[in-house]
Amino acid sequence: MPKRRLSGQQAKRIARQQADKLLDAELATADTEAGKVLSRFSKQADVEAEDGTVWRCHLRRHLGDVVCGDKVAWLRQSDGTGVIVSCEPCRNRLYRPDSFGKMRAVASNIDQMLITIAPEPEPFAGMIDRYLVVAENMAVKPILLLNKSDLLTPVLRKRMDALLSDYRALDYMIIELSALSEPGLDRLQSQLCGKTSIFAGQSGVGKSSIIQTLLPNEALKIGELSEQLAKGRHTTTHTRLYHFAGGGDCIDSPGIREFGLWHFTADEVLKGFIELRELAEQCKFRDCQHRHEPGCAILAANHAEEISQRRFESYQRIVQSLDEVHVKD
Ligand SMILES: Nc1nc2c(ncn2[C@@H]2O[C@H](COP(=O)(O)OP(=O)(O)OP(=O)(O)O)[C@@H](O)[C@H]2O)c(=O)[nH]1
Ligand SMILES: [Mg+2]
Ligand SMILES: [Zn+2]
Residue 124 CA to ligand 3 center (angstroms) comes to: 27
pLDDT per residue as tens digits for the range 255-309: 877 777 878 999 999 999 999 999 999 999 999 999 999 999 999 999 999 999 9
Q: Which of 145, 153, 209, 215 to mutate to test the pocket of ligand 1 (most atoms within 8 A of CB)?
A: 209
Please identify, by atom number, the ligand 1 atom nearest to the C-alpha of residue 209.
Answer: 15
Dihedral of alpha carbons 18, 23, 28, 34, sign: negative
Q: Find the ligand nearest to 290 CA.
A: 3
Phi, psi of 27 (to 5 degrees): -70, -30
pLDDT per residue as tens digits for the range 295-320: 999 999 999 999 999 999 999 999 99
pLDDT per residue as tens digits for the range 160-183: 999 999 999 999 999 999 999 878
Residue 147 CA to ligand 1 center (angstroms) comes to: 9
Closest by CA position to 68, among listed 223, 237, 247, 211: 237
Which pLDDT does position 2 carry in this prediction? 57
Residue 300 CA to ligand 3 center (angstroms) comes to: 9
Which pLDDT does position 3 carry in this prediction? 60
For 108-133, what is the mean pLDDT?
A: 94
- Flag whether pLDDT at 186 surpasses 70: yes
Which pLDDT does position 327 carry in this prediction? 47
- Flag whether pLDDT at 329 surpasses 50: no
Closest by CA position to 103, among listed 113, 112, 111, 93: 93
Phi, psi of 32 (to 5 degrees): -90, 165
Per-residue confidence at 325, pLDDT binned at 50, 70, 90? low
Q: How far apart are CA 34 and CA 25, in angstroms?
A: 19
Burial of residue 286, with CB atoms counted within 10 A of its CB: 0-12 exposed, 13-18 middle, 19 or more buried: exposed
Closest by CA position to 56, among listed 238, 208, 236: 238
